[in-house]
Chain A
Amino acid sequence: MSTTTTPRHELAEGSLPARTRAPAVSISEVSKDFGRGPDAVVALHEVDLLVERGEFVCLLGASGCGKSTLLNLVAGLDSPTSGTVDTAGNKIAFMFQEATLFPWLTLGQNVDLALRLTGVPRSARPERVEELLEKVRLGGRGHRRPHELSGGMRQRGALARVLAQDADIVLMDEPFAALDAMTRDAMHDEIEGLWAELGLTVLFVTHNVREAVRLSDRTVLMESGPGRVKEIHAMHDLPRPRHLEDQRVTERAGRLTHLLKAEVARHVR
């Protein structure tokens, strides 16, 4: 395992042209406080992180360490108290921690709206909607309303909507937390396939260490109180496709879990 505190700028596949090597996301000395005075919460403290174009980066950390806050800053939904976030004009899609399919639209209409707002012409949309729903294994369910879907189906619907946006950078906040192990496994294959196929840059928040090892090029281990980057673990030495049962994956996950536990314990003490 290679542990680096400075980001390593190397890709799993070295085949991308040189001009795409510029970072897709540059986070430098970002701090974020909520509130003022004695009640202020320092959610993030001087976070530095560079994410390469086409890279899959997982954010791993205890609950409340500022992962969602960081994603919000990258998405431009909030602005840092100090420091800068630069996404180099890339188009960003966000899969939120909570379900945000619009309840007044059917699943298909939700995906259609994303296409429409992306500028896909009307004539091309119905086919594309069905295609995207197939991709997340919800083919033929387009007429259903979000409340008529299970929690896992809703998350997959949200994924279809994210894919519809044809973004360069995809931010995902614990997207598969609600899924059963089997479906999650399938979704891992799916998201990895899409990431490779579409050349996406993914920033993926999770509590699940194995998930991080399974998916990421690099995993950022965060510490809490205040939120900071503790360590960055490169996973380039683990060949893809990885499987959760692979010995090397389990081994790496074991070590990360150990670190995470130590971090949580330090914070609780």
Chain B
Amino acid sequence: MSVDLSSGIGTGTPTSRGASPSPATGEPSRRAARPGAGVRRAVEVVWPKLLAVLLVVALWQAIYASGWKPDYRFASPADTVERLWFVMSGNGPFNFWMGVQNTIMRGIQGFALSLVIGTILGIAVSQWRVLRNAIGAMITGLQTMPSIVWFPFAILLFGLDSSAIYFVVLMGAIPSIANGIINGIDDVPPSYLRAGHMLGARGWRRYRFVVIPAALPAYVAGLSQGWAFAWRGLLAGEIIVSIPEVPALGTQLNQAAVNGQSANLLALMIVVLVIGMLASFVFSSIGQRVRARRGLTGFTAGGG
């Protein structure tokens, strides 16, 4: 799998056309500020998403209604929503909010550690030729490893323990983050380096004032991808490595399946999806902002 980091951000929102600066003038469009226009834009952005959700629900209901599988294997949308509401209000067979909190905390901790290690690794590899020759290709290669492949190894190393989950999260996120910064540094336009050199940005100042800011868009793209891999690895880990005394989304998913609680299972899946979408929205907004500030949006190759 080869992932184009530069296009990794700002995607997934093909309907955000109205937010882009107008290519004709190069000036940021301030049309949205006009009364009425904001509402129209919001409607424009929301209705395709709403339609997509409705379609999925309709399909779901149709399959359910066909009686293909019994209720405990395949719950109806209505049952699922009811169940979702039920667990979210703190009832249910498990401690839902504790589970959400634990999972998110694990995600944030794992990601934060990956961020530190990935960034240092990335800078080191882009700096030392020897290191690059040694592990540059390996970092790219590691990105192609499905995180689930790490689990047997992690369990062997750490046992059925949180450490095993963190290990897999790290192995998933670090290569993406390191790769993002390596690509970013490699692609810094030489003209900026030359300009920086003439301004006196040498030694560490070269990094502080030229290289790192110039590499920022690719770095943010790497972070975004790193988070996606971390999140996948985390949920896979929680499903495989259930630690009974620590409620977690993955653990609860697993239990719901084992106990034949389809509505619970589907409700939890929706929660996982929503959290993932929120996180990716955060990253894509950061990326969009970084790019817009330096005039990299507007006249783009894509449809958005």
Contact = CB atoms under 8 A, between A and B. Distances in A.
Interface string B208-224: 01100110100000000
Interface residues of B, number: 21
A100 interface: yes
B199 A165 contact: yes
Contact of A102 (B194, B198, B200, B213): B213
Interface string B178-214: 0000000000000110110111110001000110011
Interface in A72-113: 75, 77, 92-94, 96, 98, 100, 102-105, 113
B82 interface: no
A147 interface: yes
Given A113-B209, A117-B200, A118-B200, A102 B195 contact: yes
Contact of B295 (A148, A161, A165): A148
Nearest to B216: A104
Contacts of A102: 192, 195, 210, 213-214
A105 B293 CA distance: 9
Given A98-B191, A113-B209, A147-B26, A92 B198 contact: yes
A105 B208 CA distance: 13
- Chain A interface size, as a band, is 20 to 34
A204 B7 CA distance: 40
A161 B195 CA distance: 10
Contacts of B191: 96, 98, 100
B293 A145 contact: yes
Contacts of A104: 213-214, 216, 293-294
Contacts of B296: 103
Nearest to A150: B26
A259 B298 CA distance: 46
Contacts of A148: 26-27, 295
A113 B206 CA distance: 12
Interface string A240-253: 00000000000000
A146 interface: yes
Contacts of A94: 194-195, 198
Nearest to B217: A104
B194 A147 contact: no
A105 B294 CA distance: 8
A98 B295 CA distance: 17
B26 A114 contact: no
Most buried by B among A93, A102, A113, A165: A102
A93 B198 contact: yes
Contact of B195 (A100, A118, A145, A147): A100
A139 B30 CA distance: 24
A42 to B, nearest CB: 22
Given A104-B214, A104-B216, A117-B209, A96 B194 contact: yes
B199 A147 contact: no
Interface string B23-49: 000110000000000000000000000
Nearest to A93: B198
Nearest to A72: B194
B294 A147 contact: yes
A99 B35 CA distance: 38
Contact of A147 (B192, B216, B295): B295
Contacts of B214: 102, 104
Contacts of B205: 117
Contact of A145 (B192, B216, B294): B294
Given A102-B210, A102-B213, A117-B205, A75 B198 contact: yes
A161 B27 contact: no
Contacts of B195: 94, 96, 100, 102
Q: Counting chain B CB atoms within 10 Å of each CB, which of A77, A103, A161, A165 scores highest?
A: A103
A177 to B, nearest CB: 16
Interface of A: 75, 77, 92-94, 96, 98, 100, 102-105, 113-114, 117-118, 145-148, 161, 165
4 nearest CB pairs, A to B = A147-B295, A100-B195, A103-B294, A117-B200
